[in-house]
C-alpha cells in the first residue's frame, strides 16, 4: 500500500511539472517582451515591461490583429488579362516575322487581330507554295505551344484558343500575385493578408493591410509598372546629336507614315543626361519640351534580365538628384556586352514603361551595369528600384473595391469582443461553481489554462486574430464547458451506482473520453473545411476554433484529471467524498 502511495505521488508530481512547464511557457509567449537591439540581439526584459502600459504594449506586439480589429486598408484588385493577351499577341508578330525572314523567306507582312476574345497573328507570304514551309520554320524558332496554326492561300494564321486563353490568364494572375506579394513584403507592410478573390475567372486579388490608413503610396507601388527595356535609338551616332522629332506624327512620318513591327515611336523629355562614361549630369530642366524618338524593336535586353536595382544619390547631391543603378543577369550581360561593343557611339534609350527616361551614347563596351537618371527624389527612386526588382506586372491592375477601417473602429471592435468574451466567461464560471461546487472550480482552472494555451498558439503560429476569431474563442469556452459537463455528469452517474470516489473519477474520465474525442474530432474536421474553402474572416474563425479545441483536449482532460488525482491523494488522508 505504501509503495502504491509512492507511485501515485510520483505520478502527480510528473503531471504537475508538465502542467507548470506548459503554463509558464505559454504565459511567456503571450506576455513576454521580445525587444531586439540594432544588431538584432534579444534584449532582457525591463521593469517597465511588467506595468499595465508595458503589458498592453507587449500584447499588441505579440498578438497579430486583423484588419477589423487594428484598422487598415482593404483592396480588391483585378488583373486586366485582356490587356495581357493583347500585348502577348502584338509582341508575337515581330518575332514571327523575324523568324520567317531569318529562314530566307519573303514575307509581305505580319498583322495582328487582338480583342473581343479573339487573338490572332496573320502572316502573309509572297509565295503561296512556301506557306507550309514558313509555318514549320517559324514553329522551330518561336514558342507557339499555345497557338493553333491554320493555312489559307498565302497566309498563315495562328489563333489562341479559349482553353489557352484561360490558362495564360491564370498564369498572369499568379504572376501578378507573386509580384504584389514581393512588393508588399519589401516595402515593410506589417502582417498583410494577400489571397485570390472571387470565383474562377474573376482574376481578382484581395489585399488587406492592417495599420495602413493612407494606402495611396502602397497602391502606387502595387500597380506601378516596371517594364525596363534597353533599346537602340534610330538615327546618327555621336558626336552628332541624337535624332529627335517635335511630334509623334513627325516621328511616324520619318518611317513612311506607318510604324513597322521592328520600330517603335516613344516620348522623350530632353535632359542633359550623363554619358555611358559616367560624366556628371546637369540639373534636369522640367520646362524642356517633350520630344519623340524612334527606337529599334525588340529591345536589346529587358527587365526579365535584371538582377538588381538600387537607388543611389547621383554626383552633385540635392534632394531631387537620385538615380537607379541596375545590374544584369549573366545572359543579359552577355547580350548587352555584345551589342554595346558593336554599337560604340550609338545612342541607347533606357525605356521605362514606354517612355525614354535616359538616352546616353555608348562610349565603350558595357556588360552588366547601367543607370537610370532623371528628376528622382530619394523616395521616388527607392520606389522605382523596388518595382524594378520585383519584376514587371504582366498586365495592369484596376481597383474594384477599396475600404479603410479607422483605428477607433478597430478599438471599438476589440472592446466589444473582449467584453462579450469576459461576460460569457464570467457567467460560465458562476454556473459551474454553483452547479458543480468544488468540481466547478476545477473546470474554471482548466478553462483559464485553455484560454492561455489558445492565445499562445496564435502567437506561435503567427496567426491573425480577427473579430470572427474572438467569436471562435467564445465558442471554445462553450466547448470546454461542454467537455467538463460530460465528464462531471459521468462521474455523478458512477457515484450513484455506489462506487468509491476514486473509482467513479477513474471510470468517469475513461468512459467520457470516447465522447470527448468524437465531438472534438468532428468539430475540428468541420473547421478544417472552413479553413480550406473559406476566405479571410471565416478562416480566422476556423483557426482559432481548431487551436482552442486542441488546447481543450489537454486542459479539460489532462489538467482536470490531475486536479482530481491531487484532491483524492492529498497527504495524510484519502478522500471519501467529492464536491461535485
In the chain the domains, ranked by start, together with CATH numbers, are 2-31+63-69+408-568 (1.20.1640.10), 72-223 (no CATH), 227-375 (3.30.1360.200)
Which residues, in sequence order, are bridge partners of residue 197? Answer: 204
Q: Are 215 and 209 contacting, i.e. CB atoms less than 8 angstroms apart?
A: yes
Cβ count near 263 (within 10 Å) = 17
**Tens digit of each residue's pLDDT (9 = 90 or more) over 423-449:** 888 888 888 888 888 888 888 898 899
Contacts of 34 (CB under 8 A, 6+ apart): 42, 61, 62
Please, which pLDDT band fits residue 278 given cuts at 50, 70 and 90? very low
Please, which pLDDT band fits residue 277 given cuts at 50, 70 and 90? very low
- Of 211, 217, 206, 216, nearest to 74 by C-alpha is 206
pTM of structure: 0.55
The pLDDT score that the predictor gives to residue 6 is 46
**Tens digit of each residue's pLDDT (9 = 90 or more) over 170-209:** 888 888 888 888 777 766 665 677 888 877 788 899 888 7
Residues 388, 390, 392, CA angle at the centre, nearest 5°? 65
Sign of the dihedral defined by the CA atoms of residues 46, 29, 467, 77, in that order? positive
3-state SS class at 474 = helix
**Tens digit of each residue's pLDDT (9 = 90 or more) over 190-199:** 567 788 887 7
Kindly report the average pLDDT of the chain as a whole number.
Answer: 81
Cβ count near 36 (within 10 Å) = 9
Pick from 37-41, 106-110, 132-136: least confident = 37-41
Q: How far apart are CA 457 and CA 547, in angstroms?
A: 7
**Tens digit of each residue's pLDDT (9 = 90 or more) over 328-377:** 778 778 888 888 888 888 888 888 778 887 787 887 787 777 776 666 67
The pLDDT score that the predictor gives to residue 280 is 37
In DSSP notation, 390-428 reads H---SS-EEEEEEEEE-HHHHHHHHHHHHHHHHHHHHHH
Please, which pLDDT band fits residue 319 given cuts at 50, 70 and 90? low
Amino acid at each position: 500500500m505504501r509503495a502504491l502511495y509512492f507511485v501515485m505521488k510520483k505520478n502527480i508530481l510528473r503531471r504537475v511539472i508538465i502542467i507548470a512547464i506548459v503554463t509558464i511557457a505559454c504565459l511567456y509567449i503571450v506576455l513576454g517582451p521580445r525587444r531586439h537591439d540594432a544588431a538584432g540581439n534579444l534584449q532582457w526584459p525591463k521593469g517597465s515591461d511588467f506595468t499595465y502600459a508595458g503589458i498592453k504594449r507587449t500584447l499588441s506586439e505579440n498578438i497579430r490583429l486583423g484588419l477589423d480589429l487594428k484598422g487598415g486598408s482593404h483592396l480588391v484588385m483585378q488583373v486586366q488579362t485582356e490587356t495581357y493577351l493583347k500585348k502577348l499577341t502584338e509582341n508575337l508578330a515581330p518575332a514571327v516575322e523575324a523568324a520567317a525572314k531569318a529562314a530566307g523567306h519573303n514575307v509581305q507582312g505580319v498583322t495582328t487581330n487582338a480583342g473581343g476574345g479573339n487573338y490572332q497573328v496573320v502572316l502573309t507570304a509572297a509565295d503561296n507554295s512556301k506557306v507550309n514551309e514558313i509555318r514549320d520554320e517559324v514553329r522551330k524558332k518561336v514558342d507557339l505551344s499555345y497557338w493553333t496554326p491554320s493555312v489559307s492561300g498565302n497566309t498563315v494564321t495562328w489563333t489562341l484558343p479559349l482553353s489557352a486563353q484561360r490558362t495564360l490568364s491564370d498564369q498572369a494572375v499568379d504572376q501578378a500575385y507573386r509580384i504584389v506579394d514581393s512588393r508588399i513584403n519589401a516595402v515593410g507592410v506589417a502582417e498583410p493578408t494577400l489571397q485570390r478573390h472571387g470565383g474562377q475567372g474573376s482574376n481578382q486579388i484581395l489585399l488587406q493591410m492592417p495599420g495602413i490608413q493612407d494606402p495611396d503610396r502602397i497602391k502606387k507601388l502595387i500597380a506601378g509598372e516596371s517594364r525596363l527595356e534597353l533599346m537602340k535609338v534610330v538615327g546618327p551616332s555621336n558626336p552628332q546629336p541624337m535624332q529627335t522629332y517635335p511630334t509623334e506624327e513627325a516621328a511616324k512620318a520619318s518611317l513612311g507614315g506607318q510604324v513597322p513591327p521592328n520600330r517603335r515611336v516613344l516620348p522623350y523629355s530632353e535632359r542633359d543626361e550623363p554619358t555611358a562614361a559616367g560624366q556628371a549630369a546637369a540639373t534636369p530642366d522640367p520646362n524642356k519640351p517633350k520630344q519623340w524618338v524612334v527606337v529599334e524593336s525588340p529591345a536589346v535586353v529587358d527587365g526579365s534580365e535584371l538582377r538588381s536595382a538600387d537607388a543611389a544619390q547621383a554626383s552633385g547631391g540635392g534632394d531631387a538628384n537620385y538615380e537607379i543603378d541596375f545590374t544584369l543577369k549573366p545572359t543579359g550581360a552577355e547580350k548587352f556586352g555584345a551589342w554595346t561593343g558593336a554599337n560604340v557611339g550609338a545612342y541607347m534609350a533606357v525605356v521605362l514603361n514606354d517612355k525614354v527616361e535616359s538616352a546616353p551614347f555608348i562610349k565603350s563596351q558595357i556588360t552588366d551595369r547601367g543607370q537610370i537618371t532623371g528628376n528622382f527624389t530619394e523616395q521616388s527612386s527607392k520606389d522605382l528600384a523596388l518595382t524594378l526588382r520585383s519584376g514587371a506586372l504582366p498586365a495592369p491592375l484596376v481597383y474594384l473595391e477599396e475600404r479603410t477601417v479607422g483605428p477607433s473602429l478597430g478599438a471599438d471592435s476589440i472592446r466589444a469582443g473582449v467584453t462579450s468574451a469576459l461576460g460569457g466567461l464570467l457567467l460560465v464560471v458562476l454556473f459551474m461553481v454553483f452547479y458543480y461546487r468544488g468540481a466547478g472550480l476545477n473546470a474554471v482552472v482548466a478553462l483559464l489554462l485553455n484560454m492561455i494555451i489558445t492565445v499562445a498558439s496564435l502567437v506561435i503560429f503567427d496567426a491573425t486574430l480577427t473579430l470572427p476569431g474572438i467569436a471562435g474563442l467564445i465558442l471554445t469556452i462553450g466547448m470546454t464547458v461542454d467537455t467538463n459537463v460530460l465528464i462531471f455528469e459521468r462521474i455523478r452517474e458512477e457515484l450513484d451506482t455506489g462506487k468509491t470516489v476514486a473509482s467513479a473519477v477513474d471510470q468517469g474520465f475513461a468512459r467520457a473520453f470516447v465522447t470527448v474525442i468524437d465531438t472534438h474530432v468532428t468539430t475540428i474536421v468541420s473547421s478544417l473545411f472552413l479553413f480550406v474553402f473559406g476566405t479571410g474572416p471565416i478562416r480566422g474563425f476556423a483557426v482559432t476554433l481548431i487551436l482552442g479545441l486542441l488546447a481543450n483536449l489537454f486542459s479539460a482532460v489532462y489538467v482536470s484529471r490531475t486536479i482530481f488525482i491531487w484532491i483524492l491523494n492529498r497527504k495524510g488522508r484519502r478522500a471519501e467524498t467529492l464536491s461535485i
